[in-house]
Amino acid sequence: MHKEIINPPELAAPRGFNHGIVTRGGRLLFLAGQDASGADGRIAAPGNLVAQCAQVLNNLHAVVGAAGGSMQDIVKLNVFVADRDAYRASLKPIGALFRQHFGAYFPTMALFEIARFFQEDALIEIEGLAVLPDEL
Protein backbone atom coordinates (compact mmCIF):
# COMPACT_ATOMS: atom_id res chain seq x y z
CA MET A 1 0.00 0.00 0.00
CA HIS A 2 1.26 3.47 -0.87
CA LYS A 3 0.10 6.78 0.64
CA GLU A 4 0.97 10.23 -0.66
CA ILE A 5 0.22 13.31 1.45
CA ILE A 6 -1.29 16.19 -0.55
CA ASN A 7 -0.93 19.72 0.85
CA PRO A 8 -1.11 22.24 -2.02
CA PRO A 9 0.94 25.42 -1.48
CA GLU A 10 -2.04 27.63 -2.37
CA LEU A 11 -3.90 26.38 0.73
CA ALA A 12 -3.14 27.32 4.31
CA ALA A 13 -0.56 25.01 5.89
CA PRO A 14 -2.47 22.33 7.80
CA ARG A 15 -1.97 21.89 11.54
CA GLY A 16 -3.09 18.59 13.03
CA PHE A 17 -4.43 17.22 9.73
CA ASN A 18 -3.55 16.92 6.03
CA HIS A 19 -5.56 18.35 3.14
CA GLY A 20 -5.50 15.13 1.15
CA ILE A 21 -4.05 11.63 0.97
CA VAL A 22 -3.80 9.59 -2.23
CA THR A 23 -3.56 5.83 -1.77
CA ARG A 24 -2.76 2.91 -4.06
CA GLY A 25 -3.28 -0.72 -3.14
CA GLY A 26 -4.48 -1.95 0.20
CA ARG A 27 -7.81 -2.92 1.74
CA LEU A 28 -10.46 -0.40 2.81
CA LEU A 29 -11.63 -0.42 6.41
CA PHE A 30 -14.69 1.70 7.12
CA LEU A 31 -14.62 2.82 10.75
CA ALA A 32 -18.02 3.18 12.39
CA GLY A 33 -18.58 6.16 14.62
CA GLN A 34 -16.90 5.45 17.92
CA ASP A 35 -18.04 7.29 21.03
CA ALA A 36 -16.45 7.02 24.46
CA SER A 37 -18.19 3.76 25.33
CA GLY A 38 -16.13 1.25 27.24
CA ALA A 39 -16.51 -2.53 26.97
CA ASP A 40 -19.59 -2.29 29.21
CA GLY A 41 -21.33 0.00 26.71
CA ARG A 42 -21.33 2.97 29.09
CA ILE A 43 -19.81 6.35 28.27
CA ALA A 44 -16.49 6.82 30.05
CA ALA A 45 -15.85 10.07 31.92
CA PRO A 46 -19.21 11.85 31.57
CA GLY A 47 -18.65 15.60 31.27
CA ASN A 48 -14.93 15.28 30.41
CA LEU A 49 -14.27 15.91 26.71
CA VAL A 50 -10.54 15.13 26.82
CA ALA A 51 -11.02 11.83 28.67
CA GLN A 52 -13.82 10.88 26.27
CA CYS A 53 -11.56 11.69 23.31
CA ALA A 54 -8.92 9.37 24.79
CA GLN A 55 -11.49 6.54 24.98
CA VAL A 56 -12.68 7.22 21.43
CA LEU A 57 -9.10 7.00 20.10
CA ASN A 58 -8.55 3.79 22.09
CA ASN A 59 -11.72 2.37 20.51
CA LEU A 60 -10.56 3.30 17.00
CA HIS A 61 -7.15 1.79 17.77
CA ALA A 62 -8.84 -1.47 18.79
CA VAL A 63 -10.87 -1.67 15.56
CA VAL A 64 -7.91 -0.89 13.29
CA GLY A 65 -5.70 -3.34 15.20
CA ALA A 66 -8.30 -6.11 15.00
CA ALA A 67 -8.31 -5.66 11.21
CA GLY A 68 -4.52 -5.99 11.07
CA GLY A 69 -3.64 -2.33 10.75
CA SER A 70 -2.31 0.59 12.74
CA MET A 71 -3.52 4.11 13.44
CA GLN A 72 -1.18 5.35 10.68
CA ASP A 73 -3.36 3.43 8.20
CA ILE A 74 -6.28 5.79 8.89
CA VAL A 75 -6.63 8.27 6.03
CA LYS A 76 -9.87 10.09 6.95
CA LEU A 77 -11.55 11.05 10.20
CA ASN A 78 -14.81 12.89 10.82
CA VAL A 79 -14.93 14.29 14.35
CA PHE A 80 -18.36 15.07 15.77
CA VAL A 81 -18.59 17.13 18.97
CA ALA A 82 -21.40 18.43 21.13
CA ASP A 83 -19.60 21.75 21.71
CA ARG A 84 -17.13 23.19 19.20
CA ASP A 85 -15.97 25.85 21.65
CA ALA A 86 -15.15 23.22 24.29
CA TYR A 87 -13.21 21.25 21.65
CA ARG A 88 -11.25 24.36 20.61
CA ALA A 89 -10.53 25.19 24.27
CA SER A 90 -9.11 21.65 24.67
CA LEU A 91 -6.95 21.61 21.52
CA LYS A 92 -3.63 21.21 23.37
CA PRO A 93 -4.55 18.09 25.38
CA ILE A 94 -6.56 16.67 22.46
CA GLY A 95 -3.59 17.28 20.15
CA ALA A 96 -1.37 15.43 22.61
CA LEU A 97 -3.78 12.46 22.51
CA PHE A 98 -3.70 12.42 18.72
CA ARG A 99 0.12 12.50 18.73
CA GLN A 100 0.16 9.57 21.18
CA HIS A 101 -1.93 7.53 18.74
CA PHE A 102 -0.70 8.83 15.38
CA GLY A 103 2.84 10.10 16.04
CA ALA A 104 3.83 12.72 13.45
CA TYR A 105 1.30 11.36 10.92
CA PHE A 106 -2.06 13.10 10.52
CA PRO A 107 -5.04 11.82 8.50
CA THR A 108 -7.42 14.11 6.68
CA MET A 109 -9.99 15.42 9.14
CA ALA A 110 -13.21 17.39 9.46
CA LEU A 111 -14.90 18.71 12.61
CA PHE A 112 -18.68 18.94 13.02
CA GLU A 113 -20.71 20.31 15.92
CA ILE A 114 -23.94 18.37 16.28
CA ALA A 115 -27.02 18.67 18.47
CA ARG A 116 -27.19 15.17 19.98
CA PHE A 117 -25.52 11.78 20.06
CA PHE A 118 -27.08 8.34 20.42
CA GLN A 119 -25.62 8.03 23.95
CA GLU A 120 -26.88 10.82 26.22
CA ASP A 121 -23.51 11.45 27.97
CA ALA A 122 -21.40 11.41 24.79
CA LEU A 123 -19.47 14.59 23.99
CA ILE A 124 -17.47 13.31 21.00
CA GLU A 125 -17.71 10.64 18.30
CA ILE A 126 -15.21 9.88 15.52
CA GLU A 127 -15.71 7.86 12.34
CA GLY A 128 -13.32 7.29 9.51
CA LEU A 129 -11.67 5.31 6.77
CA ALA A 130 -8.43 3.34 6.84
CA VAL A 131 -6.43 1.80 4.00
CA LEU A 132 -4.76 -1.35 5.31
CA PRO A 133 -1.90 -3.30 3.76
CA ASP A 134 -3.00 -6.03 1.32
CA GLU A 135 -1.36 -8.81 3.34
CA LEU A 136 -3.14 -10.01 6.48
The residue type of 28 is L
Name which of 62-71, 76-85, 127-136 the model is least confident about.
Answer: 127-136
- What DSSP character marks residue 70? -
CA 57 to mean position of chain CA atoms: 6
Superfamily for 2-132?
RutC-like (3.30.1330.40)
Quick one: average pLDDT of 95-100?
A: 97
Report how far apart, in Å, the C-alpha atoms of 92 and of each of 17, 60, 89, 96 are.
14, 20, 8, 6
Domain ranges, ordered by start, for the chain: 2-132
- Given pLDDT bands bounded at 50, 70 and 90, which one contains residue 135? confident
Instruction: Give the pLDDT confidence of 16-67 residue by residue, as tens digits.
Output: 999 999 999 999 999 999 999 999 999 999 999 999 999 999 999 999 999 9
* pLDDT interval class at 1 (50, 70, 90): confident
Q: Residue 136 — very low, low, confident or very high, per pLDDT cuts 50/70/90?
A: low
- The answer to whether 52 touches 122, Cβ cutoff 8 Å, is yes
Confidence at residue 111, expressed as pLDDT on a 0 to 100 scale:
98
Report which of residues 56 and 136 the model is more confident about. 56
